[in-house]
Amino acid sequence: MDRFLLVSIWIVASISSISADEGPQCTLDNLGIFEVCVDSEVITSVNQKQDSQSLSLIVANVSAIAPYAFREVKIHKLKLWGNLNSWNCTPKVINVTPESFEGLSDITSLELKCLEFPVELNPFKHLEALEDLRLTGVDFSKLGDEFFADFPNLNVLKLIDSKITIITPKTFSKIPEQLKQLWIIRGVSAIEPKSFERFRNLKGLGLHEGQLASLSSGILHGLHQLEHLNLQKNGIQEIAADAFSGLPSLKTLYLTSNQIKELEPFTFAGLNVHHLALSYNQLEHLTTGVFQNLRHLSYLDLDFNHITNIDSQSFEDCPKLAMLNLDSNIIQHIEPRAFSGLNLHTLDLTDNNISVLGSDTFAGLRVGEILDLRNNNITEIKPQAFRNLIARWVALCYINEAEVDRDSWGVGNSIQMLAIDRCGHV
């Protein structure tokens, strides 16, 4: 269980009420787990009263951590935060040395937030068992080339607001090659080809909330073991046709909340991706062949785009597709048999501009749960619009409720339930 100590509050109270020669002041956290002793803004010792896996210290009013301050502590996870203000992470300068953390040989997870510390000698070099390192508001450029070389077992590296703008092959050249997870949140505006090539075992890569206007060829070169790629909230407008080539192990690809207007044919060719998320972009149409041969694709999110038409070849060769989200677009027209051959769990077409359902719109489609057409203000349903559709439940709103004609529409026994609502928001 994570025990969170608001040390800064107690230290402020102690400093304001005692003189420097009164000696260390010790405070026990409210759970009675850890006792923190401070003398003249220096943490002199941390004593552990009960078993706990982790310790979190807010050191906003601390200037240093003395050597061997943690010698009586047995934990696996340590958090050091300069402050709790998530909007203003002004680094807190704190004087620490390798001896400050002597004895914490069992630490596998370290989180540093809003801190600045001397790095001539890596103060955390004795944490040789470290597997998970998370840095927030810590200037990556000030850490030095050898900082990460002291962590031979590092598997997870998460960098948030670390002032990384351009990633080159040299940026992470000193980070252990066995890294499994790399997350860089905010700041990145450009990536040079082969920047991640040395991480042959990387399973997860996250580049969130940057300013990547385009994804060019070669930036993901060498990531043959990559399974999860998250590129959301970057402002991406263009993707090179081969940007994702050479990623045979990729299972999830998140491109949500970008500014993508068009995808080249075969952008995702060769991928074995299971979940492809393209929500909250600016796609106006689905290029023929863009999803072709995605034979492992199960979840496809295309909601909150500007798509106007669905043609008959949009989803060819996606035999495992189960969830197709097309809601909150501006779809006006769906070609006959546009979904033919799909065996879905759910097809969501809510909140579009569909006014007419033509004949054979859903012919050849199987939906195990729901085909949802609500919030479209449908004014006309052509004869046999639902012919050869197999579905458990079809939900729609239809303005002309008096003209409901199941037989004419092709609603047979293969549709277990047809639910017609009054038009308007669900």
* Whole-number average pLDDT of the chain: 90
- Say how many C-beta atoms besides its own lie within 10 A of residue 372's C-beta: 23
Sign, CA torsion 262/274/337/406: negative
What pLDDT, on a 0 to 100 scale, did the predictor assign at position 21? 54
pLDDT-derived band at 121 (thresholds 50, 70, 90) equals: confident
pLDDT digits (tens, 9 = 90+) for 142-158: 887 788 989 999 999 99
pLDDT digits (tens, 9 = 90+) for 256-292: 999 999 999 889 998 999 999 999 999 999 988 899 8
User: Distance between CA 419 and CA 393 in Å, rounded?
Assistant: 7
- What pLDDT is stored for residue 24 in this prediction? 83
pTM score of the predicted model: 0.91
CB atoms within 10 A of CB 423: 17
Using one digit for the tens of pLDDT, what is the confidence trace for 346-363?
Answer: 999 999 999 999 999 999
pLDDT bucket at 201, cuts 50 / 70 / 90: very high
| Listed residue (130, 136, 135, 215) closest to 179, CA to CA | 130
Pairing mode, strands 25-28 and 34-39: antiparallel
**High-pLDDT (> 90) share of the chain, %:** 78
Give the CA-trace dihedral at 256, 257, 258, 262, to 10 degrees. Answer: 60
Residue from 305, 325, 422, 425 nearest 375 by CA: 425
d(C-alpha 359, C-alpha 144), whole Å = 66
Report the SS3 class of residue 401: helix
Question: Among residues of the chain, what percentage have pLDDT more than 70?
Answer: 93
Among 14-23, 54-63, 345-354, where is mean pLDDT lowest?
A: 14-23
